[in-house]
Amino acid sequence: MSISDKTRKILWARSGNRCAICKLNLVNENKTIVGNECHIISTKINGPRNSIIKDFDYDSLDNLILLCSNCHKVIDTEIEYYTVGILKKIKEINENEIKTLIENQKPNELFPQINGITLLPQINTGKELFNILDGSSMFKYNFEDTADKNEIEFIASTMQELADYVDYFGNECLPLHKLKSISNLNDLLIEIVRNNFILFGERTNKKWVFGDKSTTNLMTAVIHLLRKDNKQIVKPKNI
């Protein structure tokens, strides 16, 4: 087996993208990923802290800790100190710190509200859309209810393309790829307008509940694809 994409996303989100030991930010300014998804109990027979456990999933979230390369080398060298119990405690402390930071964040006050309902901004450029998708671990969307087959196909293909970008940006995006992505997203927005739709969205921390009842807060791209005549759309006062 191998570490699943879902497990990776949860591990990075709960760890706050930082090393559990030295607290180094594992995604640098150039969006290069420098972190290691490390096994607490090794999958290798002669590996550090190896133990043969029947029906044990060595690639499960509970057996993984996020570390920088240096700390990864240290824990696999100084195995008498960095026992299974010690590493699980280090992981628990780090994840609790991140959880506390997220829960204490103030609600997003960048967008205006009417009767307690947040007004999301219209997305007009590829760069605006890129900034929402880039760095998001999950994708949540809302779209028009329609029976028109052409609209259904257009909505489905648009949402799938945006979801693919979230997965792509969640790994690594070099400057050249960023510029190409922004250009492609500009083209997508032109196509959305041509089909008489408008895109709205934001990037926010949301609580996710998974099939095994586990929960975690993940940075989420929230996108709404609405027809331009939708009554939910609030037009600026000067129009």
pLDDT tens-place string over residues 186-211: 999 999 999 999 999 888 888 887 76
The tokens of 196 are what? Answer: 């008489």
Contact between 35 and 17 under an 8 Å Cβ cutoff? The reply is: yes
pLDDT at 165: 80
Whether the model pTM is above 0.95 = no
- Residue 16 located in a structural domain: yes
**Residue where one domain finishes, among candidates 103, 127, 150:** 103
Are 78 and 133 in the same domain?
Answer: no
Q: Give the CA-trace dihedral at 58, 216, 185, 125, to 10 degrees.
A: -160
Binned at pLDDT 50, 70 and 90, residue 73 comes out as very high
The tokens of 96 are what? Answer: 């609790």
User: What span, in angstroms and rounded, lies between the C-alpha atoms of 197 and 199?
Assistant: 7
- Residue 184 located in a structural domain: yes
Structural domain count, the chain: 2
Are 79 and 171 in the same domain?
Answer: no
Are 95 and 172 in the same domain?
Answer: no
- Residue 15 located in a structural domain: yes
Question: What percentage of residues in the chain have a pLDDT greater than 70?
Answer: 82
- Residue 233 located in a structural domain: no
What are the helix (H) ranges across the chain? 5-15, 69-77, 84-103, 126-133, 149-169, 175-194
Q: Is 201 exposed, middle or buried (0-12, 13-18, 19+ CB in 10 A)?
A: buried
pLDDT at 43: 80
pLDDT at 39: 92
User: What span, in angstroms and rounded, lies between the C-alpha atoms of 115 and 104?
Assistant: 24
Write down the mean pLDDT value for the chain.
80
- Range in 13-17, 189-193, 233-237 with the lowest mean pLDDT: 233-237
Residues spanned by the domain of 205:
113-227
- Residue 18 located in a structural domain: yes
* Cα dist from 137 to 43, 140, 179, 204, whole Å: 27, 10, 21, 10
- The upper half-sphere exposure of residue 238, i.e. CA atoms within 13 Å in the direction of its Cβ, equals 0
Are 82 and 165 in the same domain?
Answer: no
